[in-house]
């Protein structure tokens, strides 16, 4: 395709080192045990290029768990905007698809300034997925393992080189100044990409079609006894919401540092708690756990398609890893499908 | 942990958490694991999913009890009778591991004499648990090799706490469920470093590693290391300290990161005691109720600002890493004490926490190989006697710490206070999921605070109906020691005759009314059993009720029409 | 249909505007009426709300009780129930507070032209309705019969008493009912639902606007529907836990609808369709 | 951003978690994926364990009560004061008139140091903690 490039693997670290001069470079790094986490890179060689698909979602860089919004004092109010420029290297196709949906959510009728200012300063270099995790199920949702569009830069690992594809102005800007590192692609490169994509797809253990689940719920074939059994296993940890690359709920709180000075901030919140919808006078509209579990699944399975034409799930499998009660999206879908 | 020590010689979880997944029988007594130790609960559910049998003994219908294949709802404070009943069946049906009992334990005969008096029928009378259930549990637990036993505060916070633990130990030895992976006796400890605080000798009668202060040899070792003469007489326990303060024996107190005024039973008594002190120093990260009464308050740092180690309930010593610089003018606790010590003429000379650990390792056999640089990934489980040792996932493999395991013959003793006409309910207290201890930390976490902002009393719906109490009504709960006013939470979680109040709330400190009677050995106060009466407070005058008819379920719902109304927002 | 103006054009949707409190009136022991200086270009419809903000305490949604067309200032009726409203109650005339808004869809009362209107309010639910009632009265000729049933716990909690008398004079059939009567007052007793049938309006063609606690809403909407009123014409305004007011924080989300941006005004048929009163 | 692996401050499970730090400010938490206890999960307290750390109500300086009210003081002064008072009371009433309460929320090292302080410096075995609860 026009505008695509090929990057020799030997040149990757040079390119990233150049980018790090201008950006806070975030990439998957090895950590305690065999953990791989997204962290600021201090040594390019520490980047875990061969890591499995499931690394923590990059959501926190554009929608942090705790974000200060305003500083207030008797003199006035300062809006705090994060202006740090970041390149996040090594995110997966599922996460890229999630970011695209987040952009639509935080844009829209009311544009969320805090999200947008972070988003504008964050550039993603995603890697087409060649070694999916056992928990991954993006193939059934069209959110991976390879993306055709909706990324800044997508790298496809072709053995000794990467096929570099760009789908945004921001993406192209990261390559522009380093043209001498990149070569023009040949047909063989695309053939190899096609093969790699097929081989990757064949590695997926889970085949889940959420559409079947949606139809079943819409047809009223899933009764409350099913959701009751799901709710029973809910530990109310909120992990599914915190880990989900698409969950957006937040709480707003004020901290008073002195009587006339303080900060207003927002924190991730979760609809899995009964207090989430609590009204003054201790009225709890969603007191029963079943209401809250249904709410989460219905939002993702029924209302997301209504609002955005897409499921509120990208098949990343993180809820599968984090849910202590083992009642994640994949498990539910498997039971219902 | 006195109960465990008298049976095995050391008090800690004998096995590891990640063994739970592959156990075949899980017997959980007095622990609402999925709420109080959620991550251990997670392992238990995994085991259940793999086909393990879960047995829960708890008077309350807790979350973990809902997953139980067998749920024994024994009367509060009758755990000993229940366990004796189970052991009676094991003995009479020949399910005892004779080999193990002969080779590795002592005092079986004495023990058998007592247990023989607890036929399942006798146990049923005391505990209210059907004899057949007792028999079923006995057979299940005794015949499965990979059977783990768990207990928590529901067992220890009784006048008979030590007896309860010893009974558990008896059961484990009787069936040889110890010294093997996926077996053992596993206390689930409440606070993150309770285990460590005990291990490190923050106890009146022992140095680190449970070396007795009365033992001259141990004392000499510490005296040599520290270059000071050390006292040989065991000190006062927490409860005795406050009694001492009241009668003038204790004149000064140093409190590091604790808030006994809210956490301890008979809170009024403690407040009085603390007020009588000549000098009180409190070191904490927030202004606590106890700090309010102090003469000096020292700002310490939180877990995120310091280095050190925590020991979890499975004896895993793990490294705490500093994430941010100390906030404001705060100082790490160890530094404050070291400074103080220096000022008093004893320079401890530590420059960093790993040096303290080196000293502790030198003086503590079970921590001998535990040094900071060896804890990088997921820490080490003690005993870890030297730097080549890789830790111990389960204890008592070949022999018990004290040699032979001791059977303790234990008779059932009724709780110190039982329900009567004047105080017809049994009150039990405990933790709830969204709160932790006295709320100095979670009270400053918006989500946790929002979920459970107010104290409540759980009462069975039948009892509530008898008393004319509806959900969210204010009630007065009073015992012989005090009273509090809380909201009623009408539920079927607690059985009839029992009410439950979480102990986290300073506004309604349930410890104002709990029993100050303490276990004679472990000195653990009796939180779990106390007789109370409950009086509904009259609804506000002018409140009006309306009846809503729920067609689907054919029930009438009584509603306080305007009581439930008026939020901050109407449009 | 009037075009409802919202925050849409604001660059910073979370930043409260600083406004001066012109006057504070004690209405009852725990309800105060605030008159705020109206910022330039601030236009709102009845039924809209704003996020009232006190730095250090937080933000809460409060419905506007004045009408843009009739008043030069913004009036808010605030009952002391939580941390933020308590902080608001500390403020005096001359102090400043923050507002964000107007937010929400508001009432589209033009659809009731030529028809009878029944207003039903419970407790402080009179506040958002007051905005609409004043506007309706100003165009009284365009409507048929107008009636109001207003329930309170006790006589001392009846809000806007002088205004109620004015409305009566304007020809509105006003029924004020309290739970417990004291000797002097002339109010009726009983809950609002007991007084609905007595209203001399056409239930078949009429429109109804209701605001009050959830329990009351449920009962009134069901009764009116049983009396033959079209479910599309039974209009209410919902309350919900809100943190942002602009469809982002997710707190008021229910079955695909955001109370803050899709509401807070809904018809009974919408409420049933989206299961808003007892949604999962 | 820097993610520091540490241990949850709440219950006795001892779950591993990362604290996410940006400019000396904790902005988030995530679980350790391969920790033998929590295996990639956390409970609600763990997920929210960072919020109280930087809460403005944190004690900021040592305080001494004078005439019923707390007064700010310096570390030097307060250490001298406490050391002086303890010495005085020890002198007058004997070492066993002093009691120390340690904490199950503090580290092993801190417990060890306090235990040593009680026994070697003050000369009393009157040390306990709230583990009995």
Mean of the per-residue pLDDT values for chain B? 85
Which segment of A4-18, A124-138, A255-269, B255-269 scores lowest on mean pLDDT?
B255-269
Res B550: pLDDT: 43
Per-residue pLDDT tens digits of chain C, which is 280 residues long: 334 444 444 457 899 989 999 999 998 888 999 999 998 888 888 999 999 999 999 999 999 999 888 888 999 999 988 889 999 999 999 999 999 989 999 888 888 888 899 999 988 899 999 999 999 988 888 888 899 999 888 788 888 888 888 888 888 888 888 877 665 667 787 778 878 888 888 888 889 999 988 888 888 888 888 888 889 999 999 888 899 988 899 999 888 889 998 889 999 989 888 877 764 3
A235 touches chain D (CB under 8 A): yes
Work out the percent of chain B whose per-residue pLDDT is above 90.
52
Res B549: pLDDT: 44
The answer on C78 and C143 residing in a single domain is no
Distance CA C144, CA C133 (A): 14
Domain for residue C233, yes or no? yes
Are residues D3 and A34, on separate chains, in Cβ contact within 8 Å?
no
Res B507: pLDDT: 59
Range of the domain at C66: 7-103
Q: For residue C208, which of C65, C111, C69, C135 has the smallest C-alpha distance?
A: C111
Name beta bridge partners: B430.
B502
Res A82: pLDDT: 84
Q: Is the pLDDT of residue B561 over 50?
A: no
Query: A and B: touch, per 3+ CB pairs < 8 A?
Result: yes
Dump strand ranges (E) for B152-206: 185-187
Among all residues of chain A, which has the CA nearest to that of B319? A32
Chains that touch A (3 or more CB pairs under 8 A): B, C, D
The pTM of this model reads 0.90
Res B238: pLDDT: 86
User: If residue B248 lies in a helix (H) or strand (E), which one and from where to where?
Assistant: none
For B287, other C-beta atoms within 10 Å of its C-beta total 18
Res B158: pLDDT: 65
Res A140: pLDDT: 86
Helix (H, G, I), strand (E, B) or coil at A329: helix
In sequence order, which residues have a C-beta less than 8 Å from that of residue A197 and are 6 or more positions away? A128, A145, A146
Res B566: pLDDT: 31
Q: Which value does ipTM take for this structure?
A: 0.89
Res B121: pLDDT: 95
Res B486: pLDDT: 86
Res B544: pLDDT: 42
For A192, other C-beta atoms within 10 Å of its C-beta total 18
Res B522: pLDDT: 59
Q: For residue D91, which of C53, B377, B279 has the smallest C-alpha distance?
A: B279
Q: For residue A162, which of A10, A325, A321, A316 has the smallest C-alpha distance?
A: A10
Res A107: pLDDT: 86
Q: Which domains does chain B have, with CATH numbers?
A: 2-184 (3.40.228.10), 194-381 (3.40.50.740), 425-559 (2.40.40.20)
Mean pLDDT for the stretch of residues A254-259: 88
Res B515: pLDDT: 64
Tell me the per-residue pLDDT of B347-372, one tens digit each, with 9 for 90 and over.
999 999 999 999 999 999 999 999 99
Conformational region of residue C91, where left means phi above 0, alpha means psi within -120 to 50, and beta covers everything else: beta
Query: B and C: touch, per 3+ CB pairs < 8 A?
Result: yes
Q: How many domains does chain C have?
A: 2
Exposed, middle or buried by CB within 10 Å (0-12, 13-18, 19+), for B228?
Answer: middle
Res C214: pLDDT: 81
Domain D2-54 has CATH 3.40.190.10: no
Mean pLDDT for the stretch of residues B490-504: 84
Q: For residue D74, which of A145, C250, B298, B360 has the smallest C-alpha distance?
A: B298
Among all residues of chain A, which has the CA nearest to that of D35? A33
Per-residue pLDDT tens digits of chain D, which is 133 residues long: 899 999 999 888 999 999 999 999 999 999 999 999 999 999 999 999 999 999 998 999 999 999 989 999 999 999 999 999 999 999 999 999 999 999 888 999 999 999 999 999 999 999 998 755 4
Asked if residues B457 and B500 have their Cβ atoms less than 8 Å apart, the reply is yes
Residue boundaries of the structural domains of chain A: 5-66+79-202, 210-250+270-336
Q: Which two tokens stand for residue C184?
A: 């002097």
**No. of H helices and E strands in chain B?**
21, 21
Tell me the per-residue pLDDT of B432-458, one tens digit each, with 9 for 90 and over.
777 766 667 777 888 888 887 778 889
Tell me the per-residue pLDDT of B55-86, one tens digit each, with 9 for 90 and over.
999 988 888 999 999 999 998 888 999 999 99
Tell me the per-residue pLDDT of B502-512, one tens digit each, with 9 for 90 and over.
877 765 566 66
DSSP A167-178: -SHHHHHHHHTT
Res B402: pLDDT: 80
Res A260: pLDDT: 85
B229 touches chain A (CB under 8 A): no
Which segment of A164-168, B319-323, B454-458, C75-79 scores lowest on mean pLDDT?
B454-458
Among B residues 48-107, those touching chain A with beta carbons less than 8 Å apart: 49, 66-67
Are residues A274 and B451, on separate chains, in Cβ contact within 8 Å?
yes
The answer on C233 and C140 residing in a single domain is yes
3-state secondary structure string, B288-324? CHHHHCCCEEEECCCHHHCCEEEECCCCEEEEECCCC
Q: Is the pLDDT of residue B10 over 80?
A: no
* Domain C-terminal end among C82, C103, C124: C103
Q: What is the CATH number of the domain that holds C24?
A: 2.40.30.10
Domain for residue C249, yes or no? no
Q: Is the pLDDT of residue A61 over 70?
A: yes
Residue boundaries of the structural domains of chain D: 2-54, 59-93, 95-133
A98: number of CA atoms within 13 Å, CB side? Answer: 28
B53-57, strands of its sheet edge to edge: B70-72, B53-57, B25-29, B147-151, B185-187
C179: number of CA atoms within 13 Å, CB side? Answer: 18
Q: Is the pLDDT of residue B319 over 80?
A: yes
Nearest Cβ partner of C124 from B541, B544, B566? B566
Q: For residue A145, which of A98, A194, A93 has the smallest C-alpha distance?
A: A93
> CA–CA distance from C160 to each of A326, C150, C152 (Å)?
55, 11, 12
The answer on C136 and C98 residing in a single domain is no
Q: Which two tokens stand for residue D19?
A: 């604290």
Q: Bigger pLDDT: B556 or A271?
A: A271
pLDDT band at B557 (very low <50, low <70, confident <90, very high): very low
Mean pLDDT for the stretch of residues A292-310: 92
The distance from CA B520 to its chain's CA centroid, rounded to whole angstroms, is: 17
User: If residue B257 lies in a helix (H) or strand (E), which one and from where to where?
Assistant: none
C186: number of CA atoms within 13 Å, CB side? Answer: 4
Given CA atoms A114, A117, A120, A121 in this order, what sign does their dihedral have?
Answer: negative
Q: Choosing among B193, B263, B273, which should be mutated to test the D contact, i.e. which has the most D CBs within 10 A? A: B193
Q: Is the pLDDT of residue B562 over 80?
A: no
Distance CA B424, CA A135 (A): 53
The answer on C165 and C66 residing in a single domain is no
Q: Is the pLDDT of residue B571 over 60?
A: no
Res C191: pLDDT: 79
Contacts of B565 in chain C (CB under 8 A): 122-123, 212-216
């Amino acid at each position: 395709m026009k505008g695509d490039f090929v990057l020799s693997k030997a040149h990757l670290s040079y390119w990233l080192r150049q980018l790090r001069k201008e950006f806070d470079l975030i990439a998957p790094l090895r950590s305690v045990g065999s953990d791989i986490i997204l962290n600021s890179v201090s040594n390019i060689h520490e980047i875990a290029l061969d890591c499995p698909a499931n690394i923590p979602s990059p959501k926190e860089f554009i929608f942090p768990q705790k974000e200060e919004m305003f500083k207030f004092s008797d003199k006035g109010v300062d809006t705090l905007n994060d202006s740090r420029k970041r390149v996040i290297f090594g995110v997966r196709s599922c996460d890229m698809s999630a970011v695209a949906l987040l952009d639509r959510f935080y844009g829209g009728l009311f544009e969320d300034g805090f999200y947008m200012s972070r988003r504008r300063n964050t550039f993603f270099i995603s890697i087409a997925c060649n070694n999916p995790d056992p928990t991954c199920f993006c193939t059934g949702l069209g959110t991976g393992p390879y993306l055709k569009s909706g990324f800044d830069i997508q790298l496809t690992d072709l053995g000794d080189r990467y096929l570099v594809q760009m789908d945004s102005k921001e993406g192209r800007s990261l390559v522009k100044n380093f043209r001498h590192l990149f070569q023009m692609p040949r047909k063989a490169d695309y053939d190899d990409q096609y093969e790699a994509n097929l081989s990757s797809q064949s590695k997926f253990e889970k085949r889940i079609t959420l559409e079947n689940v949606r139809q079943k719920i819409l047809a009223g074939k899933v009764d409350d006894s099913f959701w009751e059994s799901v709710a029973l296993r809910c530990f109310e940890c909120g992990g599914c919401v915190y880990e989900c690359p698409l969950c957006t709920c937040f709480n707003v709180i004020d901290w008073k540092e002195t009587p006339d000075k303080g900060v207003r901030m927002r924190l991730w919140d979760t609809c899995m708690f009964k207090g989430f919808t609590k009204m003054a006078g201790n009225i709890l509209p969603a007191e029963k756990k079943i209401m809250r579990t249904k709410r989460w699944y219905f939002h993702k399975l029924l209302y997301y398609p209504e609002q955005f034409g897409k499921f509120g799930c990208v098949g990343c499998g993180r809820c599968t890893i984090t849910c202590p009660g083992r009642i994640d999206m994949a498990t539910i879908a498997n039971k219902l499908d | 942990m006195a109960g465990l020590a008298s049976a095995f010689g050391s008090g800690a979880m004998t096995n590891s958490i990640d063994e739970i997944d592959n156990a075949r029988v899980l017997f959980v007594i007095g622990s609402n694991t999925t709420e109080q130790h959620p991550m251990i609960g997670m392992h238990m559910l995994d085991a259940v999913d793999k086909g393990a049998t879960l047995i829960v003994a708890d008077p309350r219908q807790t979350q973990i009890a809902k997953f139980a294949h067998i749920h024994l709802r024994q009367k509060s404070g009758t755990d000993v009778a229940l366990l004796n009943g189970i052991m009676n069946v094991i003995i009479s049906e020949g399910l005892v591991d004779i080999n193990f009992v002969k080779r590795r334990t002592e005092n079986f005969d004495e023990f058998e004499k007592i247990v023989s008096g607890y036929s399942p029928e006798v146990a049923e009378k005391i505990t209210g648990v059907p004899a057949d259930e007792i028999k079923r549990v006995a057979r299940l637990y005794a015949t499965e090799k990979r059977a783990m036993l768990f207990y928590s505060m529901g067992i220890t916070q009784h006048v008979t706490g030590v007896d309860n633990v010893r009974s558990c130990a008896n059961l484990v030895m009787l069936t040889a469920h110890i010294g093997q992976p996926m077996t053992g006796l596993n206390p689930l400890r409440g606070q993150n470093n309770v285990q460590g605080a005990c291990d490190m000798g923050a106890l009146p009668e022992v140095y680190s590693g449970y070396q007795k202060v009365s033992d001259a040899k141990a004392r000499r070792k510490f005296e040599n290391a520290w270059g000071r003469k050390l006292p040989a007489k065991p000190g006062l326990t927490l409860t005795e300290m406050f009694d001492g303060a009241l009668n003038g024996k204790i004149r000064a107190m140093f409190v590091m990161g604790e808030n006994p005024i809210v956490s301890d039973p008979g809170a009024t008594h403690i407040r009085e005691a603390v007020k009588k002190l000549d000098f009180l120093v409190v070191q904490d990260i927030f202004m606590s109720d106890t700090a309010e009464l102090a003469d000096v308050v020292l700002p310490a740092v939180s877990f995120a600002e310091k280095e050190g180690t925590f020991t979890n309930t499975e004896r895993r010593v793990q490294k705490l890493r500093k994430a941010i610089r100390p906030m404001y003018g705060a100082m790490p606790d160890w530094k404050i004490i070291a400074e103080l010590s220096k000022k008093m003429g004893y320079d401890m000379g530590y420059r960093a926490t790993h040096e303290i650990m080196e000293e502790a390792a030198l003086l503590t056999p079970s921590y001998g190989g535990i040094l900071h640089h060896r804890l990088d990934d997921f820490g080490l489980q003690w005993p870890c006697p030297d730097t080549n040792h890789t830790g111990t996932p389960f204890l008592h493999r070949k022999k018990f710490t004290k040699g032979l395991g001791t059977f303790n013959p234990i008779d059932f003793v009724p709780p110190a206070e039982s329900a009567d006409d004047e105080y017809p309910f049994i009150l039990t207290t405990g933790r709830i999921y969204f709160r932790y201890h006295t709320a100095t930390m979670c009270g400053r976490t918006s989500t946790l605070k929002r979920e459970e902002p107010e104290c409540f009393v759980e009462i069975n719906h039948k009892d509530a109906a008898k008393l004319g109490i509806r959900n969210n009504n204010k009630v007065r709960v009073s015992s012989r020691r005090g009273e509090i006013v809380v909201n009623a939470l009408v539920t079927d979680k607690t059985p009839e005759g029992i009410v439950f109040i979480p102990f986290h709330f300073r506004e309604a400190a349930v410890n104002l009314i709990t029993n100050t009677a303490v276990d004679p050995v472990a000195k653990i106060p009796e939180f779990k059993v106390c007789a109370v009466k409950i009086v509904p407070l009259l609804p506000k005058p002018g409140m009006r009720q309306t009846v809503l008819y729920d067609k689907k379920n054919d029930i009438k719902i009584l509603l306080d029409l305007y009581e439930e109304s008026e939020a901050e927002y109407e449009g | 249909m009037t075009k409802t103006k919202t925050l849409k054009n604001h660059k910073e949707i979370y930043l409260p505007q600083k406004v001066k409190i012109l006057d504070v009136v004690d209405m009852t022991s725990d309800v105060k009426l605030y008159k705020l200086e109206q910022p330039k270009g601030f236009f709102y419809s009845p039924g809209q709300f704003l996020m009232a903000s006190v730095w250090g305490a937080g933000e809460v949604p409060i419905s506007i009780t004045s009408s843009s067309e009739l008043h030069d200032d913004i009036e808010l009726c605030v009952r002391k129930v939580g941390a933020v409203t308590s902080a608001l109650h500390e403020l005096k005339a001359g102090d400043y507070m923050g507002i964000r808004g107007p937010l929400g869809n508001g009432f589209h009362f033009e659809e009731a032209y030529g028809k009878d209107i029944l207003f039903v309010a419970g407790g402080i639910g009179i506040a958002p309705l007051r905005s609409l009632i004043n506007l309706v009265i100003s165009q009284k000729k365009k409507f048929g019969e107008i009636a109001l049933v207003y329930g309170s716990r006790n006589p001392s909690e009846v809000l806007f008493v002088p205004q109620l008398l004015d409305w009566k004079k304007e020809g509105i059939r006003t029924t004020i009912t309290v739970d417990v009567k004291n000797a002097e007052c002339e109010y009726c007793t009983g809950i609002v639902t007991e007084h609905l049938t007595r209203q001399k309006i056409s239930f078949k063609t009429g429109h109804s606007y209701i605001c009050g606690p959830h329990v009351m809403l449920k009962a009134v909407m069901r009764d009116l529907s049983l009396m033959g009123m079209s479910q599309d014409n039974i209009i209410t305004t919902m309350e919900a836990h809100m943190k942002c007011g602009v469809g982002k924080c997710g707190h008021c989300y229910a079955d695909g609808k955001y109370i803050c941006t899709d509401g807070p005004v809904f018809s009974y048929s919408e409420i049933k369709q989206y299961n808003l009163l007892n949604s999962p | 951003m820097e993610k520091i692996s540490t241990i949850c401050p709440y219950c006795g499970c001892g779950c591993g978690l990362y604290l996410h730090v940006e400019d000396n400010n904790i902005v988030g938490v995530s679980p350790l994926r391969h920790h033998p206890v929590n295996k990639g999960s956390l409970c609600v307290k763990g997920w929210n364990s960072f919020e109280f750390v930087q809460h403005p109500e944190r004690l900021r300086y040592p305080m001494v009560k004078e005439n019923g009210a707390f007064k700010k003081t310096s570390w030097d002064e307060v250490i001298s004061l406490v050391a002086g008072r303890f010495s005085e009371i020890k002198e007058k009433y004997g070492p066993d008139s002093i009691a120390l309460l340690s904490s199950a929320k503090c580290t092993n090292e801190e417990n060890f140091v306090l235990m040593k302080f009680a026994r070697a410096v003050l000369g009393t075995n009157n040390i306990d903690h709230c583990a009995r609860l």
